[in-house]
Amino acid sequence: MSKSLSRLWIIIPCYNEENVLPITSELFLNELNDLIDKKKIAEDSRILFVNDGSKDKTWNIICDLAKIDPHYIGISQSRNRGHQNAVLAGMMEAKEKADITISIDCDGQDDIAAMEAMVDEYHNGNEVVYGVRSTRKTDTFFKRFTAESFYKLLNAMGAEVVFNHADYRLVSSKVLKEFAEFQEVNLFLRGLIPLVGFKSTSVYYERHERIAGESHYPLSKMLGLAFDGITSLSVRPIQMITMFGCFVAFMSFLGIIWAIIDVILGKTVQGWASMTCIICFFSGIQLISLGIIGNYIGKIYMEVKHRPRYIISERTWENEE
Ligand code: UDP
Ligand code: MG
């Protein structure tokens, strides 16, 4: 098959990972060499680190790695733009030079050994291979519960995502070239890649604990990501507001009839409490609805500006010579 020796680029976003990189970079290289030895990928495959505006020594470490072994290369974003934009920057960098890309976090939580199965699936004709966590044994109950609710909520709201799949995935350059046409600024890769289509499958793996350092995704960021995912991929919340609006209008109509009947029967003095409750309830609902609609308008505002989604300030291969 002509696909047999494809160039693989492993894309690794790194933000303040000076404790982790020295350990995991070696693991990535071992895996890459292993795949090269097995003749599953081409010798000129690469490990691309994307420094996401780290404030520690991450970029220096990446530059040093690039000097040690030609398989290591790196790009640096001009400032911190977040995980999704870092992965995007790496994918766009790779789309012309690689045949396949695998994006993976740099903290060693995702099973690096699953890459072989992903590459095999690519050779079986899949253009996208999702890495899916088979269990969440190492997560705390709270993390597992919130994360699983996150996927259920996303799907219920009409954002199609693969259950328990994060950002560990193989994507072929064919898909990346089509994906480059998706110009949105509000990025939620997990929901966007399935929209590109093409033949896809999943590979299952166990997720480990972080090798070192701390998670950059506390609950607040996770809730933010969930909300972003929903509002970037679906207009169902606005539809729900409209439906709820119709329901409320119908109830109000019944309320009016009730009030008129009460007036006719001459018992209108009471009712202060119920009135207060109704006013409070509906002002709450209205504010929430306005907030959700405002959020969509905010997103439209950001999209209309059409700002660049990432800016690369340095590349390791430009530092050389
Ligand atoms: N990351 C990034 N930019 C950020 C935050 C995180 O590039 O602003 C990277 C980080 O270095 C790691 C990956 O995104 O490689 C996932 O982050 P983390 O492990 O902190 O998240 P968790 O696995 O806890 O969800
Ligand atoms: Mg992690």
Cβ within 8 Å of residue 124, ≥6 positions away: 201
CB of 35 within 6 A of ligand 1: the answer is no
Q: Which of 66-80, 87-101, 121-135, 229-243 has the lowest mean pLDDT?
A: 229-243
- pLDDT tens digits for range 219-264: 777 777 777 788 877 777 877 887 887 788 788 778 778 878 877 8
Q: Per-residue confidence at 2, pLDDT binned at 50, 70, 90?
A: very low
pLDDT single digits (tens) 3-18: 468 999 999 999 999 9
Ligand 2: centre distance to CA 299 (Å): 27
**Would you say the pTM of this structure is higher than 0.85?**
no
Q: Is the CB of 83 under 6 A from ligand 1?
A: yes
* Residue 4: predicted pLDDT: 65
Say yes or no: CB of residue 107 within 6 Å of ligand 1.
yes
Which tokens go with 175? 């898909």
Q: What is the pLDDT of residues 152-210, one digit of tens each?
A: 887 887 777 888 888 899 999 999 999 998 888 878 888 888 888 888 998 888 877 77
* Number of CB atoms found within 10 A of residue 148's CB: 14
Among all bound ligands, the one having the nearest atom to the CA of 210 is 2
Which residue's C-alpha comes closest to atom 25 of ligand 1? 217
Mutate to test the pocket of ligand 1, among 15, 61, 79 (most ligand atoms within 8 A of CB): 15
Task: Give the model's confidence band at 144: pLDDT under 50 very low, under 70 low, under 90 confident, else very high.
Answer: confident
Helix 236-265, helix 272-305: angle, nearest 10: 160
Under the phi-then-psi rule, with left for phi > 0, alpha for psi from -120 to 50, and beta for the rest, what region is 75? beta
pLDDT of residue 270: 67
User: 10 Å Cβ neighbour count for 258?
Assistant: 10
State whether the Cα torsion 230-231-235-241 is positive or negative: positive
